[in-house]
Chain A
Amino acid sequence: MRRAHRLVPFLLALSAAACSKKQPEVAPQPADTTTRPAPAPAPTPPPPPAPTGDAAAETTRRLTAELGNVIHFDYDQDAIKPEDVPVLDSKAAILKANPAVRIRISGHADDRGSDEYNLVLGNKRALAAKRYLESKGVAGTRIEVTSFGEERPVDPAANESAWAKNRRAEFEILAGGDRLVQPQ
């Protein structure tokens, strides 16, 4: 089971790279262009190494950070807050431009409610984020959810500012994130 899970995103990554519209932008291989007829536009060759390595890496780094941006919730609520809508919209665009990417959303709670209910609440928060991304056209099969309840606070203090930081959903790339392309 685990092996198959790992293989699928890898294959997806390969096929996505093969179909990527970014492909024609990279410099063609210099060899053999004169002895062969011009290649048909549809079947693209296997992905060449990115020549603009630094720029591509920089893009990947920036998009990875954007995908990882945390969203926050009100006390005992799982509704997406208005200020987090652009954050999620940006993630949805990146996910659509990079169809090989699979993510896990983990929901977290502050430590004020019941310990066991907070697991349920964390799950509801992760699901709320997942449903939003699905509503923007990201396939639900690419998104796993889990809950940590109140078990992993970013700030263990017992004050409103710490609690506000802890009521959150985190986004983690599970697969397909090695090279990310900028959404159009």
Chain B
Amino acid sequence: MSVQSGGKTVWRLGKLAVSAHVLIVALLLVTPLGAQDTVRVGITYQPGVRPGLVVLPAPGLDSIQAIVARDLDFSDRFEVIALTQPPPGASGGQTTPLNYAFYRALGATLAVELAPASGDFVRMRLYDLAAERVGGEVTLALERSGVGESRMAVHGLSDEIVRRATGQSGIAATRILFLNHEDKRIWRVDSDGAGLVPVSPAGLAVMSAVWSPDGSRIAYSQFSRDGGKPIVLQTLGTGTRAVLPIGATKQNITPAFSPDGRSLLYAGMSEAGTALYVLNAQDLCCVERLTTGRFAENFSPAYSPDGRRVVFVSTRAGGQQIYSMAADGTDQELLVPFDYGETGNSNAPEWSPDGTSIAFHREVNRAPQVWIFDLAARRPRQLTSSGRNEDPSWGPDSRHLVFVSDRTGRRQLFVVDTETNRVRQIMTPSSARLPAWSRTLLRSH
């Protein structure tokens, strides 16, 4: 399936006429190439400094070039210069050596070249313009039109460029789940706004979707006609749905997978309040209650990336605030400080994949705003201020957040780079709510 030599990684996937799922499975299968010996481009990643990156003209691969250039721009790690025509006097690298000095003069330190290879293969070269050498090369089989599911393979290529250039994770080969306000179904959208499709069945109102860590399943709370709210697990490839066993509670909301995918946490509502429960997500059994205390509401849980702690919302001190506990329910404590009677309600916490921060929303003058709590500094930082901004979810790079904002009118999805505060919108058919960002759905190394 894969060949590796020196700094060169080659994927051989055959024709991409195969169905979407086959493609993704194939890519996942070749995932652990153990490419520890891949060449890194000689730049050291520095927050706030964005090296110039030229995406060279790619005759015949215009769609792929456009997707890659946009992905690299959305990574917020480069000043991207995408060229559609070869500049006069600059030789491309496809047949002749790259004119390094010319592209350096544009202010770039990196260049990405996409070229057709034999068959359906596309070859990507990453040039280090300062050292005047090829810093990495990837050959990938994909549909050259860059449409449909092959877009995800192109996004994987973009993430590979980010990784080789900066050593950091990209966010391109990901999807976002959200609640489509109009039909109350869960939809998904690719990280760049393409590929909008409904995921949960038509005619069923559901809420609060989350991804399983491997991206193969989602969980959500369903509004059943009898007034119950079971947690439902849906397998994305097949559409198979499993209703979780109901413990003592008929209304269950806000599910969360453990990082190993084995456990599922959720909030169960009863006459005595709302408590957190955990169950075995593989055997769909063995419900265990984790929080105690009558007439307190505990909900919206999320695991730490090591699976040892859980962050959640509790009303135990009055309003809603952010608490944490060990994954077995012990050692419960207030996590994000607040001033009693002054600080607004705080909700929707999510632990960053690198474990360093919690994103959440907190009301400021009755409007929710996105905040980040740095666990080392023990300090919350307000990220947004215009309109209502709520329900943040981390991208796999622990740098970008997707959240809901009504800044342009109705509630829509926005992605913010937490380092630069640069914001972009993801267009959705109606109002969009409660986003959940996947981990990387396809890895190239």
Contact = CB atoms under 8 A, between A and B. Distances in A.
Interface of A: 2, 76, 104, 106, 112-117, 119-120, 123-124, 127, 130, 144-149, 151
Contacts of A130: 271
A116 B348 contact: yes
Contacts of B300: 114, 116-117
Nearest to B367: A112
A140 B68 CA distance: 61
A113 B227 CA distance: 22
B269 A120 contact: yes
A113 B345 contact: yes
Chain A at the B interface: mostly helix, strand, loop or mixed?
Answer: mixed
A31 B208 CA distance: 64
Interface of B: 184, 205, 207-208, 223, 226-229, 251, 253-254, 267, 269, 271, 274, 297, 299-300, 313, 315, 320, 345, 347-348, 361, 366, 368, 390-391, 433-434
B391 A120 contact: no
Chain B at the A interface: mostly helix, strand, loop or mixed?
Answer: strand
Contact of B274 (A106, A120, A146, A149): A120
B391 A115 contact: yes
A117 B299 contact: yes
B248 to A, nearest CB: 15
A106 B227 contact: yes
A127 B347 contact: no
A145 to B, nearest CB: 8
The 3 closest A-B pairs by CB, nearest first: A146-B227, A114-B347, A120-B297
Contact of A117 (B184, B228, B251, B320): B320
Nearest to A105: B227
6 contacts: A114-B390, A115-B434, A116-B253, A119-B269, A146-B227, A151-B223
A146 B347 contact: no
A115 B251 contact: no
A104 B361 CA distance: 33
A120 B296 CA distance: 10
Contacts of B269: 119-120, 123, 147
Contacts of B434: 115-116
Nearest to B368: A114
A123 B348 contact: no
Given A112-B366, A113-B347, A146-B229, 4 more contacts: A114-B347, A115-B434, A116-B254, A147-B269
B226 A119 contact: no
Contacts of B226: 2
Given A104-B227, A146-B227, A151-B184, A114 B361 contact: yes
Contacts of A145: 227, 271
Given A104-B227, A146-B251, A148-B223, A116 B271 contact: no
